[in-house]
Structure 1
């Protein structure tokens, strides 16, 4: 299962800091998160979603050892 970590507003909307998920691809993960947690639907499209520290396409497979970070846009300087 991939480990998903949520930061800032994404953590607030997800209701947790992290969880383990078993979706086969990043696209499936995105769809499942929006379906299960509608609050994420408003910010997830604007979030940087990194797999192993890199931006990847939605068709990227997710493995048991993958780390997925959901980072909302940050403001400030």
Structure 2
């Protein structure tokens, strides 16, 4: 079961800091998160970057292991 951490707007949309999700691919993970957290989270997720074990994941077909850690990071600016 992959460990998911939500940051900033993603955490607000999910009303959670994290979750554990069974998913074999990044695409399955996205679908499971949308099903669990709903349409507002889906909107935010579409703007987010996913980091799997610290590396950006852009391919929905990419394999996701049970031991992977996924960070859901909305775009942000700072200064």
> Aligned residue for 1:14?
14
28-37 vs 8-17, which moves further: 28-37
TM-score, normalized by length of structure 1? 0.91
CA RMSD across the alignment:
1.1
- The CA distance in 2 between the partners of 1:39 and 1:31, in whole Å, is 13
Does the residue aligned with 1:46 lie in a helix, a strand or coil? coil
Deviations 1:34-69 (A, max 9, x none): 122122111111101111111121111111210000
TM-score, normalized by length of structure 2? 0.89
Are residue 40 (structure 1) and residue 41 (structure 2) matched? yes
33-42 vs 61-70, which moves further: 33-42
- The CA distance in 2 between the partners of 1:19 and 1:41, in whole Å, is 15
List structure 1 runs of 4+ shifted beyond 6 angstroms.
none
Does the residue aligned with 1:74 lie in a helix, a strand or coil? coil
Pairing of 1:1-77 with structure 2 (within 5 A): 1-37=1-37, 38-56=39-57, 57-77=59-79
Aligned positions, number:
77
Unmatched runs of 5 consecutive residues or more in structure 1? none
Does the residue aligned with 2:51 lie in a helix, a strand or coil? strand
